[in-house]
Structure 1
Amino acid sequence: MSNVTTNRATSAALTVLRGVNKDLGVVQQQVTSGLRVETASDDPTYWSMATTMRSDQSSLSTITDALGLGGSKVDTASTAMDTVVNIVTQIQAKLVSAKEPGTDKDAVNADIQQLKDQLTSVTQSASFSGENWLYNTNSQADTQKSIISNFTRGSGGQVNLVSIDYDSSQTLMIDTQDPSRGLLTKNIDASTLGTSDGSSTARNYYLLAADGGTPPADGTEISISSSTTDAELTDMINVTNSLLTSVTSANSTLGLLKSRIDDQSDYVSKLGDGIKDSVGSLVDTNMEEAAVRQSALQTAQQMGIQSLSIANTMANKVLILLQAK
């Protein structure tokens, strides 16, 4: 039975239309934002998981920056070490040439001194972001370097940072405060490296004295003159060869560190991409599915409007019949 005051057909059509409009609004918002789960009310579990993972992704981005900074420091030190190896090699060659009879040792020494000055200049300029791993002027040398490389999340949600540690004492070439800490400024006992062809007054040699620094005690700087004996030259050559081995080894450790940083940067980048994909699978809108659903709801909306119109028309006809009576 029809009722003019309460039209059940109209109410039903209106209820259906409201539901369709609500669902359509949700789908349209998902399409616009690109997110299926945008707020906690959409899906508390997925929203919480996605929020935590986004935080991890942000942390990984910061770690990538830290690795980049650390890599730049290593690159700077490694580039300087390449030059140091080259210069020490040249000094050794100069000393060897000085053993040739008739060689002007004073002229050779002038070349050696220029190479030493270049060593000082190279090590002093090997600074990046306020750190110099080759040259120290502080009373306490900070040789423990750390580069943040990753983080772990514990079962309780706590975050623990992971670092790549490096002992830069092996690349410290010049120390103005304590020459024994610098590879190029410390004393080396020539008697432990080889047998000279005669007795030398001094058996401890160091390559150079740091600018403004105190030379090591009981040692002799590697420097030659016309009075330098073959025995002393042999000691100097042996010491220089030992230094060359040490600086080459130090440079190799920097290369290994750089390789480790590069590998870690690549891993962190891939890990960040993986987290991004995982977040997307949790909360992103499936645009193909949403487009189909949106089209279907728009059709249902049109049908609902038509149904409501038909229901209203029927109510008007009943009203006309009642007025005619």
Structure 2
Amino acid sequence: MSSILTNTSAMVALQTLKGINSGLATTQSEISTGKAVGSAKDNAAVWAISKVMESDVKGFSGISDSLALGESTVAVARQAAETVTDLLTEMKGKIVAAQEQNVDQAKLQTDVDALREQIKSVVAAAQFNGLNLVDGSSAATVNVLSSLDRASDGSVAAKHIGVAAQDLSVGGYVGADVFTGTDGVTATTDDAFSFSRDANGGSDDDGTVVIVDTNLAAGDTINMTLGDYAVSYTVTAEDIASTTTADVVAVGLKSAIENSGANVTVDYNIANAGTIVITNGGADSLTITGQYENAGAGGLGLLSSINVDAGNGGDPALALTNIETLIQVATDAASAFGSAEGRIQTQADFISKLSDSLKAGIGTLVDADMEEASARLQALQTQQQLGIQALSIANQQPQNILSLFR
């Protein structure tokens, strides 16, 4: 039955053309964006999975930066440990030479002292972005962010690679006290020795130093400045072995102050063990500071006590024994850092490959198949042309009814 009110053929052709146009729009969107799933409405489940994976990829990018920073920090520490090992090995050569009595042990000790100072310099400079793993200032274990582990329930946990710090310091300064301010004020530095400014009401900055022998060890150093003059006294094994260590150290410090050139007089207070009194002999106010360097506090603390000059209280045989121990400490530290650096580098390579795999997986989920889209586009364009032609024919059918009334 033909009808001029309801053109069923045109309705069918129109719906078909609408479907073709919708498919054509979808295909053109895939071609222009390169994605088959560009938004949640395209495929909610796949879109949600892809977004979680994209967030993980972003997180792994940050982890790569963390690993690079950690690897650089450990590399600096490893290089420092290797350099210290080389310097200790060079020092061992000097110590071995000092075993012979017919040598100038004093000059060899000068070389040993120079190498000791170089080791201190290397250890102090071995920092990266403010973190030093060899000077004893960092935590026992430094954690380097290495991964983000996602569980099946969607929870995420950060994982770390622990790098053990290696203390290669020769010794540590403890505190710093200055004789200024109110008369009579007493300041103590690590209980190894104490300063006090005399309550004389004047501005001469006279002071008293009291040695506390129970906290001293061979190799410890008392450092002072009196105005522009530096004073240093290193505690010897003989000092510690004496029955009156505080008195012996006080006398040694007194002699060092007197030989410094500072315009002061120094008196030993026989009434109080280990006490010397410093009196400013100049017209100007004199600032006095002091620090105590604990030789035993560092991993290479034995280095401070190495003395091959037998004529000056040294013991070449003991020095040889100690240098072997120190070389082993430095070697172990370099090995530990090398192992940690290798682990970090392996993890960095893995994270890079893992990120690539995740990106490939995301692409598999949401990327459009461009070959298929191209073929589909050609087919849809042909279908669109045919649909338009079919709709045109269907729209002309009611015109044929007019011929029945002629």
TM-score by length of 1: 0.81
Give 5+ residue unaligned stretches, structure 1: 179-185, 189-199, 205-210
Match of 1:192 in 2: none
1:35-60 residue CA offsets vs partner (Å, 9 max, x unmatched):
11111111122112111111222222
Match of 1:119 in 2: 119
Task: Tell me if structure 1 keeps the 8 A contact 2:148–2:158.
Answer: yes
**Matching residue's letter, 1:221:** S
1:223-245 residue CA offsets vs partner (Å, 9 max, x unmatched):
3436157x810100110111001
* 1:2 to partner: Cα distance: 3.4
Match of 2:305 in 1: 221
Match of 1:73 in 2: 73
1:195-226 residue CA offsets vs partner (Å, 9 max, x unmatched):
xxxxx85899xxxxxx9652347986213436
Task: Tell me if structure 2 keeps the 8 A contact 1:134–1:174.
Answer: no
Equivalences for residues 12-161 of structure 1 within 5 A: 12-136=12-136, 141-161=138-158
Distance 1:215 1:130 in 2: 23
Higher helix proportion (structure 1 or 2): 1
C-alpha change, 1:258 and 1:18, in structure 2 (3 Å) is: same
Comparing 263-272 and 100-109, the one that deviates more: 100-109
**Matching residue's letter, 2:172:** T
Task: Tell me if structure 2 keeps the 8 A contact 1:88–1:244.
Answer: yes
- Among 326, 330, 341, which residue is 1:243 paired with? 326
Match of 2:226 in 1: none
More contact order relative to length (CA 8 Å, sep ≥ 6): 1
Q: How many aligned positions are there?
A: 294
Moved over 6 A (4+): 217-220
Task: Tell me if structure 2 keeps the 8 A contact 1:171–1:251.
Answer: no
- Among 368, 386, 392, which residue is 1:285 paired with? 368
C-alpha change, 1:174 and 1:9, in structure 2 (3 Å) is: farther
Comparing 149-158 and 16-25, the one that deviates more: 149-158
Secondary structure at the aligned position of 1:299 is classed as helix
Task: Tell me if structure 2 keeps the 8 A contact 1:20–1:301.
Answer: yes
Match of 1:173 in 2: 169
**Matching residue's letter, 1:251:** A
Task: Tell me if structure 1 keeps the 8 A contact 2:17–2:384.
Answer: yes
Task: Tell me if structure 2 keeps the 8 A contact 1:31–1:285.
Answer: yes
Give 5+ residue unaligned stretches, structure 2: 175-216, 220-236, 242-289
Secondary structure at the aligned position of 2:315 is classed as helix
* 1:71 to partner: Cα distance: 0.5
Distance 1:105 1:60 in 2: 58
Comparing 6-15 and 211-220, the one that deviates more: 211-220
Task: Tell me if structure 2 keeps the 8 A contact 1:176–1:212.
Answer: no
Task: Tell me if structure 1 keeps the 8 A contact 2:173–2:292.
Answer: yes
- Among 302, 307, 318, which residue is 2:385 paired with? 302
Distance 1:288 1:312 in 2: 36
Distance 2:14 2:378 in 1: 20
Distance 2:69 2:358 in 1: 23
**Matching residue's letter, 2:61:** S
Match of 1:208 in 2: none
Secondary structure at the aligned position of 1:102 is classed as coil
* 1:316 to partner: Cα distance: 4.2
Task: Tell me if structure 1 keeps the 8 A contact 2:218–2:240.
Answer: no
Give the RMSD, CA atoms, in angstroms: 2.8
Distance 2:104 2:396 in 1: 120
Larger Rg: 2
1:153-203 residue CA offsets vs partner (Å, 9 max, x unmatched):
2233111111111221x344345257xxxxxxx979xxxxxxxxxxx8589
Distance 1:187 1:292 in 2: 87
Task: Tell me if structure 1 keeps the 8 A contact 2:147–2:160.
Answer: yes
Identity percentage of aligned residues: 32
Secondary structure at the aligned position of 1:165 is classed as strand
Comparing 268-277 and 84-93, the one that deviates more: 268-277
* 1:286 to partner: Cα distance: 1.2
Task: Tell me if structure 2 keeps the 8 A contact 1:67–1:149.
Answer: yes
**Matching residue's letter, 1:148:** L
Distance 1:53 1:317 in 2: 61
